[in-house]
């Protein structure tokens, strides 16, 4: 997911996306352990996406980014 797409999302959507991403990275690590993972870079891509989501959520907490609808 592109950074500009994350910045357009609201806080509940970001939290849902974060949960999905954490689940996905857990599955990828499991596949890697079983040597079934074809694309090794997918774990690092997922970690980058998780970091971007956490950054945007932190911006909401710090007041840098305004919550939509409140």
Does 70 have pLDDT greater than 80? Answer: no
- CA distances in angstroms from 16 to 13, 38, 39, listed in the order given: 5, 26, 25
In CATH, what number is assigned to the domain containing residue 26?
Answer: 1.10.287.310
Please check the confidence at residue 7 and state whether its pLDDT lies above 90: no
If pLDDT is split at 50, 70 and 90, which confidence band does 67 have? confident
* Residue at 67 is within a domain: no
Distance CA 17, CA 51 (A): 12
pLDDT in tens, 11-64: 999 999 999 999 999 999 999 999 998 888 999 999 999 999 999 999 999 988
**Domain region containing 20:** 3-62
The total number of structural domains in the chain stands at 1
């Amino acid at each position: 997911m592109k950074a500009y797409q994350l910045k357009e999302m609201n806080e509940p959507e970001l939290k849902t996306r974060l949960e999905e991403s954490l689940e996905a990275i857990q599955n990828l690590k499991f596949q890697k352990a079983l040597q079934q993972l074809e694309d090794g870079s997918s774990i690092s891509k997922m970690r980058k996406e998780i970091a971007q989501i956490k950054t945007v959520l932190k911006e909401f907490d710090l007041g840098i980014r305004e919550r939509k609808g409140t």
